[in-house]
Structure 1
Amino acid sequence: MASFDVVSEVDHQEVKNAIDQARREIANRYDFKGTDSSIDHDDLAITLHTASEERMTALRTVVEEKLVKRGVSLRGVEYGDVQEASGGRARQVMTIAVGISSDKSREINRTIKEKGPKGVTSQLQGDSIRVNSKKRDTLQEVIAMLKAEDLGIPLQFQNFRD
């Protein structure tokens, strides 16, 4: 019986590299001179500090561009509210979601059962969903269907076994 796992993961090293590149670009860009803009990185929580809300949108754009270039999907990025920080500065927290929540896993299971080909079964296994079928072609149809669906989280397909 053929199977594969549906997961939602992020390469932590790529996130770290993207943040480092964004920091270097901010230090060199003319429009950030004198704004005292900075990026703090704590695993999957990214805190942006800058002088105003207008600079915050530019800073967020720089970080997003670097994340996309490093292959990190922006579907899993959640933005906090822009907060007023000390000294008239602005602060915003970006968090990168990892893993499939129980609500999303139910939604993915329901989608596979409703729209998927016959003979395909799926079950939750920790942070992943195992999809089984007798035929490899039906599993490839399920992968194509899940890629076409907008589920709001980045999905990867691993551990494909024939």
Structure 2
Amino acid sequence: MPSFDIVSEVDIQEVRNAVDQAKREVSTRFDFKGTKCSFEQNDAEITLKGEQEFQLNQMMDILRQKLVKRKVDLACMDIKDPESSLNAAIQKVVIRQGIESDTARKMVKMVKGAKLKVQAQIQGDQVRVTGKNRDDLQQVIALFKNADFDLPLQYINFRD
């Protein structure tokens, strides 16, 4: 029986490379000279530190540009609200990996609502779709490409 998996994965090494490039750009830009602005990455969490909130906005733009150049989908970013104090501003960005259970349930419900001859089941942080016909599986892929789940989806492990 043909099947494939729907996943939401991000290459963390590419994210790390983008953060390193953003660090280099902040260290060389004239408008950041003499400021205490920095990027820190801890696994899938990036922390932006600056002296004022407008600097965080500029740093976020730099980070987005670098992620796009590295072909990382920006929909995987969960941007938290900035926290400001007297001389410091901090903002956290979490890189989302995997499909959350609520979103996976919506996906399964969407497949069942399409009345296609396929079965969808949740397997951890991914959704497996199986069916008798390869064309039905391709219709499921087309269905998900038109849907908006606010996260990047990849279709892997296609087996015939």
Aligned to 2:133: 135
Task: Write the distance in 2 (CA, Å) between the matches of 1:61 and 1:123.
Answer: 38
Say whether residues 1:106 and 2:100 are aligned partners. no
Say whether residues 1:160 and 2:143 are aligned partners. no
Q: What's the TM-score once normalised by structure 2's chain length?
A: 0.95
SS in 2 for 1:130: strand
Task: Write the distance in 2 (CA, Å) between the matches of 1:44 and 1:71.
Answer: 16
Q: How far does the alpha carbon of each residue in 1:49-95 deviate from its partner, in whole angstroms, 9 at most, with x for none?
A: 1121111111001111111221211112111121124x611110100
SS in 1 for 2:111: helix
* Structure 2: runs of 5+ lacking an equivalent: none
Say whether residues 1:125 and 2:123 are aligned partners. yes
Aligned to 2:92: 93
Task: Write the distance in 1 (CA, Å) between the matches of 2:103 and 2:120.
Answer: 13
Aligned to 1:44: 44
Q: What's the TM-score once normalised by structure 1's chain length?
A: 0.93
Task: Write the distance in 1 (CA, Å) between the matches of 2:140 and 2:130.
Answer: 10
RMSD: 1.2
* Structure 1: runs of 5+ lacking an equivalent: none
Q: How far does the alpha carbon of each residue in 1:109-149 deviate from its partner, in whole angstroms, 9 at most, with x for none?
A: 1111113x521110011111110111111111111211111
| 2:46 maps to amino acid | I
Structure 1 segments, 4+ long, off by >4 Å, are none
| 1:44 maps to amino acid | A
Task: Write the distance in 1 (CA, Å) between the matches of 2:148 and 2:68.
Answer: 18
Aligned identity (percent) is 45
Task: Write the distance in 1 (CA, Å) between the matches of 2:152 and 2:116.
Answer: 25
